[in-house]
Amino acid sequence: AQSVTQLGSHVSVSEGALVLLRCNYSSSVPPYLFWYVQYPNQGLQLLLKYTSAATLVKGINGFEAEFKKSETSFHLTKPSAHMSDAAEYFCAVTLRGNQGGKLIFGQGTELSVKP
Amino acid sequence: EPEVTQTPSHQVTQMGQEVILRCVPISNHLYFYWYRQILGQKVEFLVSFYNNEISEKSEIFDDQFSVERPDGSNFTLKIRSTKLEDSAMYFCASSVALNTEAFFGQGTRLTVV
Encode pLDDT of B39-49 as tens digits. Answer: 888 899 999 99
User: Does the pLDDT at position B99 exceed 80?
Assistant: no
Residues B96, A54, A97, A59: is their CA dihedral positive or negative?
A: negative
- For B85, phi then psi, to 5°, come to -75, -5
pLDDT tens, A71-100?
999 999 999 999 999 999 999 998 776 666
Burial class (CB in 10 A: 0-12, 13-18, 19+), A67: buried
pLDDT in tens, A92-109: 998 776 666 789 999 999
Interchain contact A28–B (C-beta under 8 A): no
Q: State which amino acid sits at residue B90.
A: Y
- When computed from its CA atoms, the radius of gyration of chain B, rounded to whole angstroms, is 13
Answer yes or no: do A107 and B55 touch at CB < 8 A: no
Mind listing the pLDDT tens digit for each residue in A22-60? Answer: 999 988 777 889 999 999 878 899 999 998 778 899 999
Residue A20 has a CB neighbour count (10 Å cut-off) of 13
- Work out whether strand A10-14 and strand A109-114 pair parallel, antiparallel, or are unpaired: parallel
Mutation for A interface: B7, B37, B42, B51, most A CBs within 10 A? B42
Mean of all residue pLDDT scores within chain B: 94
Gyration radius (Cα) of chain A, Å: 14
Size of interface A-B (CB pairs under 8 A): 65
Q: Do A100 and B56 touch (CB under 8 A)?
A: yes
pLDDT at A98: 62
Please answer whether residues B67 and B77 qualify as being in contact, where contact means their C-beta atoms are separated by less than 8 angstroms: yes
Which residues of chain B does A32 touch, with a Cβ-Cβ cutoff of 8 Å? 99
C-alpha span between B80 and A81 (Å, rounded): 45
The pLDDT, as a whole number, for residue B38 is 93
pLDDT of residue A73: 95
